[in-house]
Structure 1
Amino acid sequence: MPRSLVAVLSLVLLAARVHAIDPVTKAADGTPIPHPASKVTRTVKDGEKTVQVPKGMVYVPAGEFTFGTGVGAKKVKLDGFCIGKYHVTNAEYKAFLDATGGRAPSYWTKGTYPDGKANHPVAFVSMTQAAAYAKWVSKETGWTVALPTSEQWEKAARGPKNTLYPWGGSMDVTYKDGVLTSKFNYNGVLAAEYLKTHPTLETAYSAKSAKYGGQKVTVEKIVAYDDAGKATAFGIGATGQVRGWVAHSTNTGFIGTDLFHTLSAAGGNTTPVGTYEAGKSGYGCYDMAGNLWAWCDTKITATNGAERGKEVNEIRGGSWYATGTSCKSVSIGEGRAPAGAYNTVGFRVVMIPKE
């Protein structure tokens, strides 16, 4: 083969390689999010050590921190580790699926995510699938990549000051004159949006066999009925608590409507990663509160939610569906079956850095 042709082919292959590790999308503030197989790193000092931290991750230094709160709190010592600055996005997950031929999440169509959601966190991914993603990144990069333990996740979320939320000790949410001010994406964000911009949008309670099933209602008239028929109107309190969100026994409230089920099937009310600058943790992680729960590689017996009493994998951080108090940086006893895929659960990865 002529040398000139060899040179051209080499350039083509090089270009293909460069393209393969180009950023796959951008965060809300325009920060490029690298391809998951990218090997680009930056140097970080940890005491006397120098470690290489992958682009797209933050470094959590070695040391002791307080794990949990109250009587159950304990001191835990961890080695230094890297953790995703953001949840794994739709675009990053698609790069994995394109390379491996895996199954796309249920809300995608024709093998790709919805328009405009490249930089939203990927949902409807089981822990088993998330672990496969981490294993693939490990193979492509040569790094030790995994899902975080509950201890790793909590240290990254609470930051060096060990706060209850990534930014401090309280939700720090206000609601006044129809405007919600929040540092994170939780159910109040969704409630405020629909009450402000779609108050007269018509929907219906979707559980057809239930007492109120099929009853038509506008957003501003949604209520949650208790078993005695007492109604709690859909609304938001001054400090951000949502009323009339759900009444499980009667399948009413916002969660009981066709509107919610359509939204849920489309991937939920996620926001682009990195949207909430004021909500990042002291170590620089975004969306550790809200947007999507994150899988943890730690087994617990759930003490909260529908999985109460079952052995499950812990999930952390809350979601767009969760109440604000569920989005704390400490455990609230929530977990899910690792083979299940959920509209409120995503993931981020950790890596043991090389010195």
Structure 2
Amino acid sequence: MRCSLLLCALLLCAAQATAGDDGPLVPETVAIPAGEFIAGSDRAEREYAYSLDEKAYGHSITRKQGWYEGERAKGLARTKAFRIMATPVTNRQYAAFVKATGYRAPDVDRATWEGYGLIHPYRRTRRFAWTAGEPPEGRLDHPVVLVTHADAVAYAEWLSSVTPRDWRLPGELEWEKAMRGRDGRVFPWGGRWDPAKLNSHDAGPFDTTPVGSYPGGASPYGVLDPAGQLYEWTADPHGAGRFTVKGGSWDDKGCGVCRPAARHGRPADIKHILVGFRLVAE
């Protein structure tokens, strides 16, 4: 049930005035205007992405497997106006949700993880896992990971119930516009690859970092962590039981997958150390 206008106003004031252990209830957002923008990619951009991967990895697997062939054809798209979280949802913000609702804390057991068939060993998940409902030490301002698509939706529904706004996962086009602006640039900061502007395996710590650690890589609208750091859930399906994720991660080199036009799907129920989310508000 939605809160009354008076209660919502009181909650908003309290959330903006305090930033205690539970973190602020109302995340900072960036306004994205209504209108057209250039979405997707053309042959030249995809070739550039493959060449970046080949240089970084020393092989042509992404080209041979056609990783970027499913991208939207470059052209004009349109969105309504919306606001998007300035950074991905952090452990600090997600902890307020877990504490208030008793919702399950981010974690994954060995059998489930090994059943995914991923290249990361199970031991690597332990630094991201929560203990007794508490985030890992020293990582309150890192993005939350090990969350399924349903977990992200549940957080959005809770945040909608305790703040004056209605929150949801972004559509793929909304996400792309927020991260690349209107002019169809290849990366959020411009047309050329620069490993200093994001958290990727090229120059990063091979781990998540506190959100907003790469302000030089902000999008034209001022959105932080628009590339690298972690893949982000969107609201758009990507085949049966899957949803589109965008953004690239701390594990990627190259970084063809870090372009806002890049897209691929993940199973809705996967709890991955490379996947988190941010929300939009109407």
Higher strand residue share? 1
What letter corresponds to residue 298 of structure 1 in structure 2? D
Question: Contact 2:186/2:259 (CA < 8 Å) preserved in 1?
Answer: yes
Q: Deviations over 1:253-294 (max 9, x none)?
A: xxxxxxxxxxxxxxx710000000100000111111011110
1:330 to 258, 261, 281: 261
1:69 has 2:41 as partner = yes
Aligned to 1:103: 104
What's the Cα RMSD here? 2.3
Q: CA deviation at 1:142?
A: 3.4
Other structure's SS at 2:31 match? strand
Distance across 2 between alignment mates of 1:19 and 1:337 = 34
TM-score by length of 1: 0.58
Q: TM-score, normalised by structure 2?
A: 0.73
Question: What is the CA–CA distance in structure 2 between the aligned matches of 1:35 and 1:338, rounded to whole Å?
Answer: 27
Query: In structure 1, what is the equivalent of residue 278 of structure 2?
Result: 348
CA contact (8 A) 2:15 2:24 kept: no
Number of corresponding residues: 221
* Matches of 2:232 and 2:260, distance apart in 1: 11
Distance verdict in 2 for CA 1:349–1:19, change over 3 Å? closer
Is 1:116 equivalent to 2:46 in the alignment? no
Query: How many angstroms apart in 2 are the aligned matches of 1:143 and 1:160?
Result: 26
**3-state SS in 1 of match to 2:197:** coil
Distance of 1:171 and 1:132 partners within structure 2:
35
1:24/1:91 contact within 8 Å kept: no
Question: Are 1:137 and 2:137 an aligned pair?
Answer: no
Among residues 8, 18, 23, which one is paired with 2:19 in the alignment?
Answer: 23
Instruction: Tell me whether 1:315 sits opposite 2:245 in the alignment.
Output: yes
Larger Rg over CA atoms = 1
Greater RCO (Cα-Cα under 8 Å, separation 6 or more):
2
CA distance in 2 between counterparts of 1:322 and 1:108 reads: 24
What secondary structure does 2:203 align onto? helix
Among all aligned residue pairs of Structure 1 and Structure 2, give the percentage whose two residues are the same amino acid. 36
| Uncovered stretches (5+) of structure 2, i.e. residues with no partner | 1-9, 44-72, 108-128
Are 2:180 and 1:158 equivalent residues in the alignment? Answer: yes
Secondary structure (helix, strand or coil) at the match of 2:99 reads helix
Residue in 2 that maps onto 1:185: 199
Which residue pairs with 1:88 in the alignment?
89
Cα displacement string for residues 333-353 of structure 1 (whole angstroms, at most 9, x for unaligned residues):
x1111121110000000001x
User: Runs in 1 of length 4+ with deviation above 3 angstroms?
Assistant: 17-21
Aligned equivalents of 2:218, 2:16: Cα separation in 1? 29
- Tell me, in whole angstroms, the C-alpha distance in 2 between the residues paired with 1:19 and 1:320: 30
Consecutive unaligned residues of structure 1, counting only runs of 5 or more, are: 1-13, 26-32, 39-54, 174-181, 194-267, 302-309
